[in-house]
């Protein structure tokens, strides 16, 4: 009864969260893990060494305000340091954006299907997430974002490339939206290093742009938790104001700085992902899947008729291969598979092929 009293005294937002699907436990180590868009390569030795060296400072609080890391990001991306915020992955920064810019009852617009974490963030804030259907579009439905229900949204969230579709919107479309609207646009570029272009050049020109980057995907550091936000100092300042003190740790600082200093080392990694993405897409379409063209480190594949995405996910899991099944927004017949090493992708394709044979 005591626990029931505690639980029922939680805010309505906190109680609503109970209705969302909960996270799955981490799988045993001997799975081919292709379900959360990690990059499978170990940190380069030189970056690794910076993490070890940082442990010597474990008894001290990390540097206040993430200054050295922000400075490194400012130099790398060509902006001034007061245009940069650093966080534990871009998810921390997304959370700050929701808290800073949305009051209960407000709304936020996102293209659908989109990154589902935004639902949780909106719910926590007591805000409404307007999911604007775009049918896996390769261009931006600007009209739909500026009129209709989305007209009053406090900000527009664009992930480019988008998750879970992998689609890429031309930067010129995003520029048109920024120019035509006074609304805040949050451009989440988590996967942009696998894409043909990026929105960095828009930063100086549009004060209504907040741009997010992460070291989780293209820099293979998902477990270290480093992300950046870029934008006008007054927007960035609001986010920094509400951020926890000492939000990052000494290893995140050291690894972040080291990765930025050795960015060139990762070019081969990005080439591998692009190449492997093409190879797997071709193989999957030969096995009867239909693919959305992807510019990220994953593929969204519509499964052959007869079984749905959930069935394929379970069949693959029995073969010790983990893929994502994201049934919302018309994706019941899809699976999303991350691009791993060649050996991992061979294991995935082998499992798909075995399952397909067993259906004949």
Q: Which residues make up the interface to ligand PMP (CB under 6 A)?
A: 37, 89-91, 115, 159, 163, 188, 190, 214, 216, 222, 227
Q: How far is the CB of 164 from ligand PMP (least distance, A)?
A: 8
Q: Is 62 or 95 the residue whose CB approaches ligand PMP more closely?
A: 95
Q: How far, CA to CA in Å, does 332 sit from each of 19, 80, 172, 229, 308?
A: 19, 44, 32, 33, 6
For ligand PMP, the nearest residue by Cβ is 89
Residue appearing with tokens 């646009």? 185
Query: Closer CB to ligand PMP, residue 79 or residue 190?
Result: 190
C-beta separation of 276 from 83 below 8 A: no
Give the nearer residue to ligand PMP in terms of CB position, either 188 or 276: 188
DSSP state of 311: H
First to last CA, the chain: 55
- Shortest gap between Cβ of 281 and ligand PMP (angstroms)? 19
**Of 115 and 266, CB closest to ligand PMP:** 115
Half-sphere exposure of 11 (CA within 13 A, CB side): 8
For residues 167 and 258, which CB has a smaller minimum distance to ligand PMP in the complex? 167
Task: Please report how close the Cβ of residue 90 comes to ligand PMP at its closest, in angstroms.
Answer: 4
> CA 113 → CA 6, 90, 140, 257, 329, distances in Å?
35, 19, 13, 34, 6
Q: Which is nearer to ligand PMP, 187 or 236 (CB)?
A: 187
CA distances from 193 to 6, 88, 113, 196, 266 (A): 45, 19, 21, 8, 10
Q: Which residues neighbour 75 within 8 Å (Cβ) at sequence distance 6 or greater?
A: 260
The nearest distance, CB 219 to ligand PMP, in angstroms, is 10
For the bound state, the minimum distance from the C-beta of residue 255 to ligand PMP, rounded and expressed in Å, comes to: 13
Question: With respect to ligand PMP, which residue has the nearer C-beta, 81 or 222?
Answer: 222
- Contact (CB, 8 A) for 180 and 162: no
Measured from the CB of residue 162, what is the shortest distance to ligand PMP in angstroms? 7
Shortest approach of ligand PMP to residue 37 CB, angstroms?
6
| Host H or E run for residue 291 | strand 290-291
């Amino acid at each position: 009864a005591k626990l029931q009293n505690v639980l029922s005294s939680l805010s309505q937002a906190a109680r609503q969260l109970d209705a969302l699907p909960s996270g799955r436990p981490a799988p045993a180590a001997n799975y081919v893990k292709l379900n959360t868009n990690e990059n499978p390569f170990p940190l380069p030795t030189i970056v690794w060494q910076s993490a070890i060296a940082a442990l010597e400072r474990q008894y001290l609080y990390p540097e206040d305000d993430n200054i050295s890391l922000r400075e490194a990001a400012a130099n790398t991306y060509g902006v001034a340091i007061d245009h940069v915020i650093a966080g534990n992955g871009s998810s921390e920064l997304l959370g700050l954006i929701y808290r800073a810019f949305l009051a209960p009852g407000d709304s936020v617009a996102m293209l659908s299907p989109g990154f589902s974490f935004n639902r949780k963030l909106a719910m926590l804030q007591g805000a409404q997430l307007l999911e604007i259907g775009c049918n896996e579009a390769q261009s931006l439905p600007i009209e739909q974002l500026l009129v209709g229900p989305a007209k009053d949204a406090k900000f527009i969230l664009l992930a480019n490339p988008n998750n879970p579709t992998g689609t890429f919107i031309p930067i010129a479309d995003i520029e048109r939206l920024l120019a035509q609207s006074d609304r805040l646009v949050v451009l989440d570029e988590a996967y942009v290093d696998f894409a043909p272009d990026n929105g960095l050049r828009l930063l100086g020109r549009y004060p209504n742009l907040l741009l997010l980057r992460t070291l989780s995907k293209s820099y293979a550091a998902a477990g270290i938790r480093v992300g950046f936000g870029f934008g006008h100092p007054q927007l960035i300042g609001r986010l920094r104001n509400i951020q926890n003190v000492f939000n990052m740790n000494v290893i995140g600082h050291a690894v972040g700085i080291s990765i930025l200093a050795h960015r060139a080392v990762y070019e081969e990694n990005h080439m591998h992902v692009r190449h492997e993405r093409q190879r797997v897409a071709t193989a999957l379409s030969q096995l009867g899947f239909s693919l959305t063209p992807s510019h990220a480190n994953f593929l969204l594949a519509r499964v052959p008729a007869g079984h749905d995405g959930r069935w394929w996910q379970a069949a693959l899991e029995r073969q010790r291969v983990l893929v994502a099944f994201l049934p919302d927004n018309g994706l019941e017949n899809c699976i999303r598979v991350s691009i791993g090493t060649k050996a991992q992708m061979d294991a995935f394709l082998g499992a798909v092929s075995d399952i397909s044979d067993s259906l004949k």
